[in-house]
Amino acid sequence: MTGSLTVIGLGPGDPRWLTPAATAALDAATDLVGYGPYVGRVAERAGLVRHASDNRVELDRARHALDLAAAGRAVAVVSGGDPGVFAMAAAVFEALEDARPEWASVDIRVEPGITAVLAAAAKLGAPLGGDFAVMSLSDNLKPWDVVTRRLEAALAADFVVALYNPISKARPWQLGEALKLAGRHRAADAPVAFARAIGRADEAIRVLPLAEAEMAATTADMATLVLIGASGTRTVGGADGRRFLYTPRSVGRMP
Amino acid sequence: MTGSLTVIGLGPGDPRWLTPAATAALDAATDLVGYGPYVGRVAERAGLVRHASDNRVELDRARHALDLAAAGRAVAVVSGGDPGVFAMAAAVFEALEDARPEWASVDIRVEPGITAVLAAAAKLGAPLGGDFAVMSLSDNLKPWDVVTRRLEAALAADFVVALYNPISKARPWQLGEALKLAGRHRAADAPVAFARAIGRADEAIRVLPLAEAEMAATTADMATLVLIGASGTRTVGGADGRRFLYTPRSVGRMP
């Protein structure tokens, strides 16, 4: 008897952003595997076994999910946002490289979700109107010089840059360093957005000039998506004094 | 009487990927504005006025939508995928720069959607497991040398690269040129995915070695999302001989 493994994106947290396909996949599951807070977002029901784990054991969690599926269970591996963006999907395929014979017939699928950068952009206006780069600022899985080299390349080529995992207790200085580096490629008043917990009760959005953002780096946390504008990114006024952040679609010749 | 304007992402086409928030926004609309095929995706109902236009008049369409909202209508501007990614949201804010007094009190919102690169990635496996760059290959709104400079920067820094708008009748050679350029930064057998019409009846996915992809460039079309792997992007086998494309999360020191 062979089971299935579906890696599911729960979106940023607002249930109105959970796709019907993701809901259907959750409804069909017998087992729920994931980081505790994400498992906690899915309603309990009879027949659904919950396997919550901490945040640091992605490969073990992926192997556990494959084992459950190989034993005939319908396993849902849950991630916040989109499971393919700095989340569980890659870990599942990395685990699959072990090629254990009992995993060979597991039916594996991925259900996409609204990832943080799309949710943040929608709340801000349209900051992704031009080309953009999406990076994890964590140096847990890649050397810091790879992070800075990529960041410099994206900034120099005038991409909008979205930073996931900008800061944590174990990585307190990296965001400040990244924003300092941004200062070499952007004006001091270039807009930087800190979009925290988008779609959740404690949602908080700030747009700061780059120079201020660098000073405020330590006020970000792991729930914050940081967006560094391109040279053309600007604000425009809306109703009730609101300012929208957007990047014009057209680009002139670059300097 | 002041109305509202909501820019809504319809996702890639599969209705199971339309978020409940987008559905609610569509249900609340009195007027539907957008490119014909996207307007066509929304079911007709009494009380919903449809304003379909062709694909080349984004700013006019945005102004029309703002005028309707200023006249008190509840306007839904629809885009495929996510409205902030090479779609209508930026055009609305560009139009708003005109600051016409009658637009000043229009309530503007953006509803995110599953953008093509997330849907394609989910169908392929987890090719976005590392850092990635998202670009429009169209040189309608930016000079071709900006396109190539950004593409080279992203490839050299070993981002996975997603190309929107890869080819059209008016732009027949740009994708071939872009893949040729990729050959300077990636091995000839580096995986390139052509993911066409994801989530729709005519969905078609191919993963080709870069050298073959370059030869096959003209088989892509405007409905195709092209994904160029990073140096680490690889395939792993699943059930029934299926191969998944994924990018390992860990990166070693770069050359």
**Single-letter code of the amino acid located at A120:** A
Q: Which residues of A touch B230 (CB under 8 A)?
A: none
User: Helix crossing, A144-156 with B144-156: angle to 10°?
Assistant: 180
Q: Please tell me the predicted confidence (pLDDT) of residue A253.
A: 62
Closest CA–CA distance from residue A107 to any residue of chain B (Å) = 6
Taking the whole predicted model, whether its pTM rises above 0.90 is answered as yes
Q: Please tell me the predicted confidence (pLDDT) of residue B151.
A: 98
Cβ contact A244–B134 (<8 Å): no
Cβ contact B121–A110 (<8 Å): yes
> Above 50 in pLDDT, residue A76?
yes
Q: Which residue of A has its CA nearest to B7?
A: A122
Cβ contact A112–B114 (<8 Å): yes
Cβ contact A84–B128 (<8 Å): yes
Q: Which of A17, A85, A126 lies at the smallest CB-CB distance from B21?
A: A17
Average pLDDT score over chain A:
95
Q: Confirm if B132 and B246 have CB atoms less than 8 A apart.
A: no
Q: Please tell me the predicted confidence (pLDDT) of residue A255.
A: 46
> Above 70 in pLDDT, residue B215?
yes
At A254 the three-state DSSP class reads coil
Q: Distance between CA atoms of B49 and B212, rounded to whole angstroms?
A: 47
The residue that leads in pLDDT, A154 or B2, is A154
Q: Which residue of A has its CA nearest to B82?
A: A118
What lies within 8 Å, CB to CB, of B56 at 6+ separation is: none
Q: Distance between CA atoms of A147 and A253, rounded to whole angstroms?
A: 27
The upper half-sphere exposure of residue B66, i.e. CA atoms within 13 Å in the direction of its Cβ, equals: 25
Cβ contact A252–B143 (<8 Å): yes
> Above 80 in pLDDT, residue A80?
yes
Query: How many inter-chain contacts (A to B, CB under 8 Å) are there?
Result: 263
Cβ contact B146–A254 (<8 Å): yes
Q: Which of A164, A9, A5 is nearest to A78 (CA)?
A: A9
The residue that leads in pLDDT, A99 or B180, is B180
Q: Please tell me the predicted confidence (pLDDT) of residue A254.
A: 54
Q: Residue range A142-151: average pLDDT?
A: 96
Closest CA–CA distance from residue B8 to any residue of chain A (Å) = 10
- Which residue do the tokens 């393919």 mark? A84
Cβ contact A84–B121 (<8 Å): yes
Average pLDDT score over chain B:
95
Chain segment B106-147, per-residue pLDDT in tens: 999 999 999 999 999 999 999 999 999 999 999 999 999 999
